[in-house]
Amino acid sequence: MSGPTQITDKRVERSKAKVLAETYRQLVQSGIAGVSIDEISRISGISKTTIYRHWPSRSALLIDACSRLGGAPVAPDTGGLRSDARALLSHLAHQLRTANWSSVYPSIIDAAERDAEICAMQAALHKAFMAPFEAVIERAKAKGEIPRDRVTSDIVALLAGPFFFRRWFAKEEMDDHFIDAVIDAAIR
Amino acid sequence: MSGPTQITDKRVERSKAKVLAETYRQLVQSGIAGVSIDEISRISGISKTTIYRHWPSRSALLIDACSRLGGAPVAPDTGGLRSDARALLSHLAHQLRTANWSSVYPSIIDAAERDAEICAMQAALHKAFMAPFEAVIERAKAKGEIPRDRVTSDIVALLAGPFFFRRWFAKEEMDDHFIDAVIDAAIR
DNA sequence: TTCTTATGCTACGCTACGGTAGCGTACTGT
DNA sequence: ACAGTACGCTACCGTAGCGTAGCATAAGAA
């Protein structure tokens, strides 16, 4: 639409970057509730007044920072549905174990329960996150590896659901055996 | 161990009950982070000093209140694994849509990420919650409806995971068609 | 160089919260 | 009836947080 919204002034870029970096740090360490403007200012070295010059409120900063959590999604193409799924789930399990966002996400989910803006942000985040899953499944449908009448979002839930469940609710391991069990169940 | 810890004084019982009731209300409405001792006192009519006479800290009150969230679990026994599973999942879907705890749970999950005591409480809550699932699966194994070498906790994750996923992450419907799809996948 | 603009600084105001102390009163169990 | 005790009330303390105002200064753009 509007392109890169030309920011010419280096000072603005530097300030924003520093603030976002420190916001991200606090987000990962303490969740949404633990993010404090005063502390961002203190640690990043950017004055609080400057922060409020770039974001109208704490909420706006939080939403901006959270929106940048998702990395560029990649849909594997290994030649077959099962191996694609294994790649997806193996990557998901690894992310859930190690990635920074996996400790932030529950606080986003919680906040989304009561805040419309955060809810919208979470929806966008989730969509981007699940895109590779949908891509792989659609491709398999096109190739006839899955019957067309199976609902894509059902399969996504069958594949990803058990992992989210284990990471945050059951708190159990997600090893190769589990990955195979999930694939066997979801793709029969 | 110690039995019902005999509380004779009606005043204590009344105060505690009122405080817990209001704590529960705030918990459901605003999550863990939204619970305030001042407001509990204000609305319940129980003095703040009295609250601190019964609970040493805000955390203790929160953990006490959260521990009471789970209702008495019931494992269905309809005669067959598939219909048992359908009963479990149908009940789960309904709970996730309507029960009060379903709006609180994300905040517990979030807090558990950073607080050891809340983490332990969540573990107990989760265990009680999943007990009926395990019971049904174990019974099916005993009856030979499922091969014994299938891991029980894997099946629990396959059954319940997709529902948790839909309720809080994907935010999609959980209708009868979905229930059947999950059962078909988890119990083959 | 000169003009513009972003920034830093200090000092606020306001609200909310957790937790405590002291004292008088009302209730409950015996 | 009486003694013990749970209770309410008021007034605190200290901390933390969001958000703003005014003014001087430094850095970038032309």
Residues B135-173: tens digit of each pLDDT: 999 999 999 999 999 999 999 999 999 999 999 999 999
**Which region holds residue A175: left if phi is over 0, alpha if psi is between -120 and 50, else beta?**
beta
Parts of chain A belonging to CATH 1.10.10.60: 4-66
At A1, is the pLDDT very low, low, confident or very high (cuts 50, 70, 90)? very low
- Distance between CA atoms of residues A34 and A27, nearest Å: 7
Q: Which of A146, A148, A152 is nearest to A188 (CA)?
A: A146
Task: Please tell me the predicted confidence (pLDDT) of residue A78.
Answer: 95
Over residues A138-145, mean pLDDT: 96
* Contact: A110, B107; criterion CB under 8 Å: yes
Task: Please tell me the predicted confidence (pLDDT) of residue A2.
Answer: 35
Chain A residue numbers touching B103 (CB-CB < 8 A)? 113
- Distance between CA atoms of residues B110 and A111, nearest Å: 10
Task: Please tell me the predicted confidence (pLDDT) of residue A141.
Answer: 97
Which chain A residue has the Cα nearest residue B166? A157
Which top CATH class is A81-187? mainly alpha
Over residues A158-170, mean pLDDT: 98
At A7, is the pLDDT very low, low, confident or very high (cuts 50, 70, 90)? low
**Residue A29 beta carbon within 7 A of nucleic strand D:** no
At B8, is the pLDDT very low, low, confident or very high (cuts 50, 70, 90)? confident
Write the CA distances from B109 to A102, A138, A164, integer angstroms: 12, 33, 12
Task: Please tell me the predicted confidence (pLDDT) of residue B7.
Answer: 61
At A3, is the pLDDT very low, low, confident or very high (cuts 50, 70, 90)? very low
Residues A73-101: tens digit of each pLDDT: 899 999 999 999 999 999 999 999 999 99
Over residues B94-106, mean pLDDT: 95
Residue B47 CA and nucleotide D7 C1' are separated, in Å, by 8
Q: Return mean pLDDT, chain A.
A: 94
- pLDDT over 70 percentage in chain A: 96
- Distance between CA atoms of residues B107 and B180, nearest Å: 30
CATH number listed for the domain at residues B4-66: 1.10.10.60
**Residue B171 beta carbon within 7 A of nucleic strand C:** no
At B3, is the pLDDT very low, low, confident or very high (cuts 50, 70, 90)? very low
Q: Is the pLDDT of residue A30 over 50?
A: yes
Over residues B49-76, mean pLDDT: 94
